[in-house]
Amino acid sequence: MYEKMNLLKHSERVKSELIVGSKLLVSLRDFKEREFDGALKMLENYFNALESEIGIAYNSTKDPRFMEILNLISGMDFIDYDASMDR
């Protein structure tokens, strides 16, 4: 029972953070020039922190789905925003 509750806890946390991250990605379209550069850097920092959170979830649960998510997130290219948005 503990394992299932632990998995649920981490899954819900990661899901919520992914929703926030996706909304932040979409909002980048509203920024121009230097604002965009700063917003992109902040978003990169957000996803780096999210990678840590997903790593904690994986280490705690050993569920391979967290590793799949981690691999997808770590493959994001913040230098080429347009290409990353097409994935």
Distance of CA 33 to CAs 21, 73, 81, Å?
A: 21, 25, 13
> What pLDDT score does 23 carry?
94
- Name the token pair of 79: 């230098």
Q: What is the pLDDT of residues 22-70, one digit of tens each?
A: 999 899 888 888 998 899 999 999 999 999 999 999 999 999 999 999 9
Q: Of how many residues is the chain composed? A: 87
How much is the pTM?
0.80
Instruction: Express as a percent the part of the chain with pLDDT over 70.
Output: 91
> What pLDDT score does 54 carry?
97
Buried b (16+ CB within 10 A) or exposed e, 57-85: bbeebebeebeebbeebeebeeeebeeee
